[in-house]
Amino acid sequence: MPTKRLSMRQLREILRLKLQADLSVRQIHRSLRVSVGAVSKVLSNASVMKLSWADIDALDDVQLANRFYPQADTRQSTQFEMPDWRDVHQELTHKGVTKHLLWEEYTEQYPNRCYSYPQYCHHYQVWQKSQRRSMRQTHKAGEKLFVDYAGQTVPVVGASTGEVRHAQVFVAVMGASNHTFAEGTWTQSLPDWLGSHARAFNFFGGVPQLVIPDNLKSGVSKACRYDPDVTPAYQQLAAHYGCAIVPARPYKPKDKAKAEVGVQVIERWILARLRHYTFFSLTELNTCIAALLKDVNNRSFKQLNGSRQSWFESIDKPALAPLPKLAYQYTDIKTVKVNIDYHIQYDTHLYSVPHHLVGERIDVHASNTLITLYFHNKVVASHARQYRHGMSTVAAHMPTRHQKHQSWTPGRLMNWAKDIGDEVLVWVKYQLASKSHQEQAYRVCLGLLNLSRQYPSQRLNKACAIANQQHLYRLKQVKAILTSNQDKLYQHNQDESQNHLPQTHENIRGPQSFH
């Protein structure tokens, strides 16, 4: 029976969560919002092909697609076929008929114009106009960790400047035992968000199967009730610890009730007690939070025997997965396009990639010490991270003859520069001569030459004249000359110097007057 094709990200995540994290089909379904049938089919195909996670991780996206969808119809249709909901509603009254069965029959009838199963259910609910019944939640041992930020912040006074900054408070609560972790961070940005997760896992001494965050932008790039997009860095953290991220649905506070209650506990039993204290560093704040946190977790329940700590030791802790051997290191992930000079830019530094990737979009994974570049999930280059202006080029990445790169040559750049003006040509020649490889200067030369589209050639030539005279060989320095109109002032001064003052006049005394 035909199955709607999954994206490569969904397919790879299904295989990882099963083969590496050892989650059940139902748990993977809840994590990725992919139907149970689709998950089962993917895992069944992987089992037939006898693939391990190591085998899958070695495949790029194209190879993975060829394995699982060798004869897939990739033609796209922008118009979907809406089912007749009256017939659907009538069919559902028959014994044994489910929405999933009707959806499978619908996809068979319209294989290229069908909605996904979550969208199918959503449209049916809109038509039905019925309210969703509340769902009673049950939490298994070691299964879920709920995370969120407290709404209340804590002021921290700079010891040397007296500046007041407001620290955010991160809260993590285990689902079964309510064992709670909290700490202060400067921001809710991605590095702080992921760092707090890593410290929470260390605090609990293990890793839960599922992490339930709110739809914070640091963790969820696109909030959606059915298919939220988790940020790549957040997914990488989940892969490092071998857990799954299941964001709470927007505007559904019951999905993260544990986190809401945990935040209330921290605000009442910790932050309220600290309201009269003045903190001069984040370390001081976290030392006090850690001391009071022990009291919160050891405090006896009112209506149950034991405490959060005792429940955690007997219920959650034995069920947690062990921490990975290597400590987590935050990695910034972004997608960039390879420039014509076969380099990509991260922060202020340029890093080379194999020249055949010119024009392609690749993923940059940047840690504190290493820049790793991926294309179709395969490593194509790696560099030591640099924190200065400059360029890191691997000789093996340079092209000999390549169609995409060959369209620009030193001769073509110099001909263009000569058409604009002699001073522009001098500036371009200097750039080409100053690099160990001429290709490294292509980017800055093109940047200068493209200024001729914004400024008249005469002005650009005069600006280069000033730059050559004063040894200014940074592109931003030439731009500054143009934006400040120094080139116009330069011409004015030249004109004045050419207008010589008269040397004879009745009020001018010559040498003879001083004998």
Which pLDDT belongs to residue 383? 93
Q: How far apart are CA 112 and CA 77, in angstroms?
A: 7
Contact 360, 337 (CB under 8 A): yes
Strand segments, DSSP code E, in 338-421 are: 343-346, 349-352, 361-366, 370-375, 378-384, 390-392
Q: pLDDT digit of tens for each residue in the chain (515 aa)?
A: 344 566 677 888 888 888 888 889 888 888 888 888 888 988 988 888 888 888 888 887 778 877 877 754 444 445 778 888 767 765 665 556 688 888 777 776 776 677 888 888 888 888 776 434 433 445 677 888 999 898 889 999 987 888 899 999 999 998 878 899 999 999 988 889 999 999 999 999 999 988 888 766 554 544 444 334 567 888 888 888 988 888 776 555 555 567 788 888 888 888 888 888 899 999 999 999 999 999 989 988 775 667 888 888 888 888 899 999 888 888 888 889 998 888 999 988 999 999 888 889 999 998 888 999 999 889 999 999 988 888 888 878 877 654 444 567 788 889 999 999 999 999 999 988 887 767 778 888 888 999 999 899 999 999 999 999 988 888 999 999 899 888 887 655 555 555 555 556 566 666 666 65
The phi, psi pair for 334, rounded to 5°, reads -150, 160
Which pLDDT belongs to residue 74? 42
Task: Write the DSSP assignment of 489-504 as a string of letters.
Answer: HHHHHHHHHHSPPPS-
Q: How far apart are CA 468 and CA 473, in angstroms?
A: 8
- The residues, any chain, with a CB within 8 Å of residue 292's CB and separated by 6 or more, are 269, 270, 273, 274
CA atoms within 13 A on the CB side of 32: 28
Domain boundaries, the chain: 8-127, 144-319, 332-401, 408-495
End-to-end C-alpha distance for the chain, whole angstroms: 117
Which pLDDT belongs to residue 72? 47
SS3 212: strand
Query: What is the pTM assigned to this prediction?
Result: 0.53
Which pLDDT belongs to residue 512? 64
Contact 273, 182 (CB under 8 A): no
Residue type, 463: A
Q: Determine how many CB atoms are found less than 10 A away from the CB of residue 44.
A: 10
Stated as kind and residue range, the H or E segment containing 429 is helix 422-434
Q: How far apart are CA 116 and CA 4, in angstroms?
A: 7
> What tokens appear for 3 in the block?
């199955």
Q: Which CATH superfamily is domain 144-319 in?
A: Ribonuclease H-like superfamily/Ribonuclease H (3.30.420.10)
Q: What angle do CA 70, 59, 341 make, to 5 degrees?
A: 110
Contact 259, 148 (CB under 8 A): yes
The phi, psi pair for 336, rounded to 5°, reads -135, 165
- DSSP category for residue 313: I
CA atoms within 13 A on the CB side of 183: 21
- φ/ψ region of 243 (left if φ > 0, alpha if ψ in -120 to 50, else beta) reads beta
Task: Write the DSSP assignment of 139-190 as a string of letters.
Answer: --TTTEEEEEE-S--EEEE-TTT--EEEEEEEEEEETTT--EEEEEES--SH
Stated as kind and residue range, the H or E segment containing 107 is helix 99-109
Give the CA diameter of the chain.
129
- The residues, any chain, with a CB within 8 Å of residue 293's CB and separated by 6 or more, are 180, 181, 182, 270
Where helices occur in 314-386 by DSSP H, the ranges are: 317-319
